[in-house]
Amino acid sequence: MAAASTDSIPSVNKAWVYSEYGKAADVLKLDPNVPVPEIKEDQVLIKVVAAALNPVDYKRMFGYFKATDSSLPTVPGYDVAGVVVKVGSQVTKFKVGDEVYGDLNEKALENPTRFGSLAEYTAAAERVLALKPQNLSFVEAASLPLAIETAYEGLERTEFSAGKSILVLGGAGGVGTHVIQLAKHVFGASKVAATASTRKLELLRSLGADLAVDYTKEKYEELPEKFDVVYDTVGESERAVKAVKEGGKVVTIVPGRVAAAAFIFILTSTGTILEKLKPYLESGKVKPVLDPTSPYPFSKTVEAFAYLETSRAIGKVVVHPIP
């Protein structure tokens, strides 16, 4: 049996839904009568306060990985921040009233949930959630899980450690902004270089980059120095391998043509990483980075997706309030 907070949880809620694959502007519709998901024994029901959008959301909506996707219709949204309103019988870490955040999908591309975060209520497994740091707003917290966990797992997989150097491709994006900060302030990098367009270079420096490379004016693979690790968030692994030291590592998070000397990984979402990083988030050493257009109201979710699809976003695009 699940313990409920009150009888105030409705049977239906407002949610963004798509029933066929395509662009958000064509297929994403607001439905006021979507059933509130039933929770399993190891899940909690969350009253959603904020949800962040990620490129994986629109790539999934385009049908890029339909072979491993769950069946349609789908409520999109991986990242969530909100309040627990109901807990499953096996849940021990959280109670009704807790403010939590997380990436709902343990395996991003394998049977992701049909009931994502772009709704008034969503269900989440206990293991993908963590308590929200008290100094962060729900909007800031929602921006973090998928991006910061991806940044962290990638650094771990390259065996990054104190004294090593790193080049981050796409330093102003959702993942890149966190790779810079984690490499510098958590892992103790000796040097952090990162690429972005001209207007975003100052942001890279403010996050901890020692060298901000304007990719519109110079080629990073022609820099005089090479790096222990190159973290590719943009899908340029074939160029990236030319910027790494002999014996160094190139990691990419963009499926497609991956250079033989690079490796790709897909995040395994877990609240453990968020718990590990909590002291850095609470101290302000690691900060959420929100696009200046954020947050978008719930009614403007289609516009938020259209903006994210331009690849011009700085940091994260977040939807709030809901509704």
Q: Residue 143 pLDDT > 90, yes or no?
A: yes
124-156: burial string, b at 16+ Cβ within 10 Å, e else: bbbbbbbbbbeebbbbbbbbbbbbbbbbbbbbe
- Tens digit of pLDDT for each residue in 162-191? 999 999 999 999 999 999 999 999 999 999
**pLDDT attached to residue 115:** 98
Contact, 39 vs 20, CB < 8 A? no
pTM attached to this predicted model: 0.97
Mean predicted lDDT score pLDDT of the chain: 97
Q: Residue 294 pLDDT > 90, yes or no?
A: yes
Query: Mean pLDDT throughout 109-113?
Result: 97
Contact, 149 vs 103, CB < 8 A? yes
Contact, 86 vs 9, CB < 8 A? yes
% of the chain with per-residue pLDDT over 90: 97
From its phi and psi, is residue 188 left (phi > 0), alpha (psi between -120 and 50) or beta?
Answer: left
* DSSP per-residue string spanning 153-194: HHHHHTT--TT-EEEEETTTSTTHHHHHHHHHHTS--SEEEE
